[in-house]
Amino acid sequence: MIQNQIQKGVVIGAGIAGIASAVRLANKGYQVTVLEANEYPGGKLSQIEQNGYRFDAGPSLFTMPHYVDELFKISGKNPRDYFQYKKMDVLCNYFYEDGTRLHAYADLDRFAQEVSQKTNEKPENIHKFLAKSKEKYDLTADVFLHNSLHKLSNYFTKSTAKGVLGFHKLDTLQSMHQVNQKSFEDERMVQFFDRYATYNGSDPYQTPGTMNIIPHLEFGIGAFFPEGGMYSITLSLVKLAEDLGVKFKFGVRAQEILTQEKQVHGVQYQDAQGKEHVIQAQIVVSNMDIVNTYQKLLPRLKAPQKILKQTKSSSAVIFYWGIKRQFKELDLHNIFFSKDYKTEFEYIFKKQSICPDPTVYVNISSKESPQDAPENAENWFVMINAPNNQGQDWDKLIAETRQNVLQKMNRILQTDIEPLIEAEMLLDPRSIEQKTASVQGALYGNSSNNRFAAFLRHANFSSKIKNLYFCGGSVHPGGGIPLCLLSAKIATDLVKNR
C-alpha cells in the first residue's frame, strides 16, 4: 500500500550536489527531504575504513573552497563553526621515469625556479602559461560555470560579451596538448600540464585547449586540505542541512518522479523493507546520473537521446593500501608519470583498456591527518585512470594493473611495496557504477573530448516538466566538487523563493 507524506521539495541523491541543493532550497523556504539509496551520504565523496586505516573513497583534491563556504554564509552560519581547512604549500610531488622529481610549490616564483633547476624549461614560460590560464578562466567562468547555458537571457550579459570578444584567446580549435607543446620547450612540462585533462576525465590529445583553465584553479586559487579529510566536507554540509531542517532518508531507493499535466507532484520510493511511499512535492531535484534519471525515474518521458548518448568520461581503478611504513619523499599528493603519455591515453580512450605503464596518483591523507593511519604507517589511495565500464574483463585487467603499479613504484622508490601492504580494498568502474549510479562508472559524466562538450551536457532544468531540476557531475557544468556545487547553485537559482 502506498502511503502519502507531504513535503515541498525532494532531492534525489545525497551526493555533494544533492546536499548543496537541499541547503539552497531550505534557504528559499522549502521543506526538503533527501532520498539516498546508500546508507551514507556523499556519493563519491565518502569514506572507507579497514584495520585502523581511514581512506577518503573518492575525490582527494580540494580546490575552490569558497563554494563550500558560500553554503554556510547564505544560511547565516560561520563556516569555521562546521569545518576547517588550510592552504597547501606544496600542491603535488611529481616523479618521472628518467629520475626527475619536481615539487609543485603553490608559490609561482618558487615553482618556476624549481622547474628551471630540474628541467630545461625557462621560468618565464611557466609564468606566461599560468597567466594565460588565468585569462582563460576569467573569460569563461561566468559564461560556462556560473550560469545556465540553456537560458537565452544569459547570453545577453556583459560577461558573455567579454567572453565572445576574447574567444580567440580560448584555444578552442587546438587540443590541450597542442597548446602545451607550443608553450614549453621541455617535454616533461608538456606532460605536467597535459595531466590536467584528467581532472575532468578527458584526453589532452583530444580535449580543447580551453581546458587549460584548470591549472589556474590550483596555482592561481590554491589547493587545500580539510581538517579530518575530504569526507569532512560531506559531513559538515549534512550537518548544515539538518540544522536548516532538511530530512535525510538513507537506504531508500527512488522509483519514479511523479508528474501530472507536465508538472512534478512528487516522488515514489521504496524503503529498505520493500514498502512503497510517495512524497508529494512542488519541487524535485535529481542528483542521480542524468541517464539513469531518464531511464529509471522518468520512464514515460521522451528522453533527449543525443545528449544522453554522448561519450562518457574516463573512470578509475583505485587501490586502498594500508602501508606499514612511512615514506619521507612522498607528500599529500604524488604523481608517478608514465613514460609515454600518448600511448597511455590511447589505451584508455581507444583501446578501452589500461596501459601497462600507467600514470599512478597516490594520495596520503595521513600526511596531514595522522589519525588516518596507525603509528609509523600511511594510508595510500592509489588511483590509475581507466576506461569506463564497457564489459571489459576487469578482474584480469585489475590483476595486471596491480602488478604493473607495484613494479613501477618499486622501481622509482627503490623499495618493495607489496610486503608493506597490511590492508587492501578496491574500487573499480563496476563498483563505482554500482555504488553511485554513475553510468558506466564514468567519474565526470560526459567526456570533454570535443570543443562543443560544454554545450552537450544536459541543462539543470527540464524543458518539458515544470519544477524538475538536475544537478551533479553528469549535467552542466560538469564533474568534480567545485562544478557539482555550481550545478546545485545554477539549478536552485531557477527555483522561486517560497
Q: Hunting for cell 578509475 — which residue is that?
A: 316
The pLDDT score that the predictor gives to residue 209 is: 94
User: Each residue of 113-162: pLDDT tens digit?
Assistant: 999 999 999 999 999 999 999 999 998 887 777 776 666 565 556 655 55
**In whole angstroms, what is the distance from residue 269 CA to residue 267 CA?**
6
The pTM of the full predicted model, rounded to 2 decimals, is 0.94
Per this entry, what is the length of the chain?
Answer: 498
Cβ 104 vs Cβ 236: under 8 Å: no
User: Does residue 163 carry a pLDDT above 90?
Assistant: no
pLDDT over 50 (residue 6): no
Would you call 94 helix, strand, or coil by DSSP? strand
Quick check: 287 and 487 in contact, CB under 8 A? no
280-315 confidence digits (pLDDT tens): 999 999 999 999 999 999 999 999 898 888 889 999
CA dist., res. 365 & res. 347, Å (int): 30
Asked if residue 90 lies in contact with residue 331, where contact means CB atoms within 8 angstroms, the answer is yes
Q: What is the mean pLDDT of residues 58-65?
A: 96
- 97-100: long-range contacts (C-beta < 8 A, 24 or more apart)? 97/337, 97/338, 97/339, 97/412, 98/188, 100/188
- Single-letter code of the amino acid located at 250: F
Domain boundaries, the chain: 3-44+229-310+453-493, 124-221
**What is the distance between the alpha carbons of residues 133 and 341, in angstroms, rounded to a whole number?**
22
Taking only the tens place, the pLDDT of each residue in 173-213 is: 999 999 999 999 999 999 999 999 999 999 999 999 999 99
- Per-residue pLDDT reduced to its tens digit, 405-429: 999 999 999 999 999 999 999 999 9
Cβ atoms within 10 Å of 4's Cβ, excluding its own: 9
Q: Grid coordinates 559564461 are at which residue?
A: 143
Return the DSSP state at 303. P
- What is the mean pLDDT of the segment spanning 430-443? 95
Residue 168, pLDDT score: 63
What digits encode the pLDDT tens for the residues 85-115?
999 999 999 999 999 999 999 999 999 999 9
Q: What is the pLDDT of residue 1?
A: 36
**Which pLDDT score is estimated for 144?**
74
Instruction: Indicate the pLDDT class of residue 463, thresholds 50, 70 and 90.
Output: very high
Q: What is the CATH number of domain 3-44+229-310+453-493?
A: 3.50.50.60
- pLDDT confidence of residue 160: 53
Query: Residue range 361-381: average pLDDT?
Result: 98
Do the Cβ atoms of 474 and 17 come closer than 8 Å?
no
Dist. CA 275–CA 277, nearest whole Å: 7
pLDDT digits (tens, 9 = 90+) for 331-365: 999 999 999 999 999 999 999 999 999 999 999 99
> What's the confidence (pLDDT) of residue 151?
65
Which pLDDT score is estimated for 450?
A: 77
User: How does the average pLDDT of the chain come out, rounded?
Assistant: 93
Residue 71 has pLDDT above 90, yes or no: yes
Cell numbers 553554503 label which residue? 71
User: pLDDT above 70 covers what percent of the chain?
Assistant: 93
Q: How confident is the model over 10-35, as a mean pLDDT?
A: 97
> Cβ–Cβ contacts within 10 Å for residue 81, how many?
11
User: What is the per-residue pLDDT for 207?
Assistant: 94
SS3 for 317? strand
